[in-house]
Structures are given as C-alpha cells and as structure tokens.
Amino acid sequence: MRLLFAFFAAVGLGACTAPPQVAAPLPAAEDVPVSVTRAIEVTRRIEPVAEVLCRSETPQQACDFSILVNRDPRAGVNAFQTIDPATGRPVIILTAGLIRDVRNDDELAFVIGHEAAHHIAQHLGAQQAAAQAGADFLGRQAFERGATEAEIIEAAQAGAFIGARRFSQTAELEADALGTIIACGAGFDPVLGAQFFSQLPDPGDRILGTHPPNAARMEVVRATAAQFCPQVSGVPQRS
C-alpha cells in the first residue's frame, strides 16, 4: 500500500513550487528591455544575501541559486522555486510577465527573496511529506473499510491534495517572513515590495487555498520588518 500512496505524494503542490515550461538564464544587460535589466541588477544584489543565509541556516543543502526567466507569454505573472534534478542546485524562475509587471526594484527583490526562502526553509520536501501523509491517511482508511482499488486511489489522491494545500498556506507565510529578511538584507524595502500582492487576486480565507489572504501576508511582512529591518522607513521598530 505504501508504494500506491507514494504515487500521489506530489499531487496538489502549490503554484509557487511548480516547474516552468520554458526557462532560460537571464541575458546580459546589453540590448535588453529595461524590465530585464532591472531583473539582472536586482538579482546581482539579492542572490548573494540569499546564498549566505542559506549556507548559515541549512549548510547541508545546495545554496548557489540559479535564477532563470520563463519567456513563454502563456506563463502569465508568476515565480517558481524548484530544484535542478541533475545537480541539486536551487532554481528560481521568474516569468517574463512578472518581470514586466513589477512596479519597482523592491517588488522584484521581495518576490526573489520569497522564492529563495522556500528553498532555505526546505518547503519542497516538507510539502511532499505533507502530501504523502495525507495520501497515506485517507488511502489507508479506504483500504481498511474494504474499498475497491479505484476508491482507494481516489481517497489517496484526495488526501495528497488536502495535505499539500494545508501545508501550503503555512509555507507561504514562512517564506514571506524569511523573504522579508533577505530583501532588507540586500538593501531593499520589503514592505514596499510586498505591495506587489495588491496586483494579485486576493485568495481570501479559503481553507484549501494555496495562498493565505493578502492582508495576512502583509501583516507578516510588516511584523518581520519591524523586528529585523531597521532601515525600512514608515515601519515602527521594536525595541
């Protein structure tokens, strides 16, 4: 039964960690749109900060981030964090739509810091474990009550989906907090950067939503900045 449930461990993973269809390295700064030039410069500032924090917090994993751009116009406005299966190197993918739509360097830096935080916090593995636990639980319940093979598979799929989604909202808030520290460590304003949420549809307070409400995310960013980012203007600092 374990092998059957393991098949569903990756079901329902959030969009933040989904691999892109088309990705390529950011080009050289010459002869590229202003938005891409911005991405190159922001990346040069924020990647070393994320790498240092990664090596400090999780020295057992690879920390040399590769930042790529998904040029497919169908990819929309999004960013992803994944792992290069050949090298184990952490990969952050920015869609061309996101690079075009960010309104300032702080927004772009916050997005990159957020995605780097997913890797530092080892969310991919933890989310897969949550999906596995959900698949095991509901699949085993179906098996013990004498369900058919098709019913067991359906129950395991549902369990994997629920397990991953329940973990996803917590992981997003954790990545917002750690991404705030990364962004301000690189000299950006994460509170201003998190205003990027206002451009995205608010997921609301859905139990099985992949992301928490925008207001909850902003609250986490502000609280973290107040504690760790003394250079951020307009945020009351904690003593």
pLDDT recorded at residue 38: 77
* Region 14-120: CATH code: 3.30.2010
Please give the Cα distance from 81 to 232 (Å, whole number): 26
Cβ atoms of 38 and 98 within 8 Å: the answer is: no
Q: Where are the CATH 3.30.2010 domain residues in the chain?
A: 14-120
Q: Can you give the pLDDT of all 239 residues of the chain as single tens digits?
A: 333 333 333 333 334 544 444 455 544 433 334 467 778 899 999 999 999 999 999 999 999 999 998 888 888 888 989 999 899 899 999 998 889 889 899 999 999 999 999 999 987 766 676 667 666 777 777 777 788 888 778 777 776 766 666 657 788 999 999 999 999 999 999 999 999 988 777 665 554 445 678 888 999 999 999 999 987 654 544 44
Give the number of other CB atoms < 10 A from CB of residue 230: 11
pLDDT recorded at residue 32: 37
pLDDT recorded at residue 146: 83
Residues 123, 80, 100, 233, Cα dihedral to 10°: 10
pLDDT recorded at residue 131: 67
Please give the Cα distance from 177 to 218 (Å, whole number): 10
pLDDT recorded at residue 80: 85
